[in-house]
Amino acid sequence: MKLWLDDVRPEPPGWTRAHSVAEAIAYLSAGEVTCASLDHDLGDHEADGGDGINVVDWMAEHGVWPVDGVTVHSANPVGRDRMLATIRRYSPY
């Protein structure tokens, strides 16, 4: 499954959309995510468990990485850079 984490932008054809950190982590925990594309800013991040960086931190902490990679499609340059730094440091890619 291809995971698209974004609370605003629609998922591309063939992708499964998660609107929140909790929803994304649930998909990742199930072990069926083959690749992921993540946004940083997720609307009401406090109510929904945080921003995209929280998903990346969870993947790093639990060693759960989609086999075909993780990309970041966030328009927030600071958030994107933080996410990419964690991915580069802890992922197997």
Using pLDDT thresholds of 50, 70 and 90, give the confidence band for residue 74: very high
Using pLDDT thresholds of 50, 70 and 90, give the confidence band for residue 71: very high
Domains of the chain, residue spans: 2-90
Please say whether the beta carbons of 52 and 38 come within 8 A: yes
Residue type, 59: M
Q: What is the pLDDT of residues 40-61, one digit of tens each?
A: 999 765 556 689 999 999 999 9
pLDDT at residue 16 in the model: 98
Please say whether the beta carbons of 18 and 24 come within 8 A: yes
pLDDT at residue 43 in the model: 77
The CATH topology of domain 2-90 is Rossmann fold (3.40.50)
Please say whether the beta carbons of 65 and 33 come within 8 A: no
pLDDT at residue 4 in the model: 98
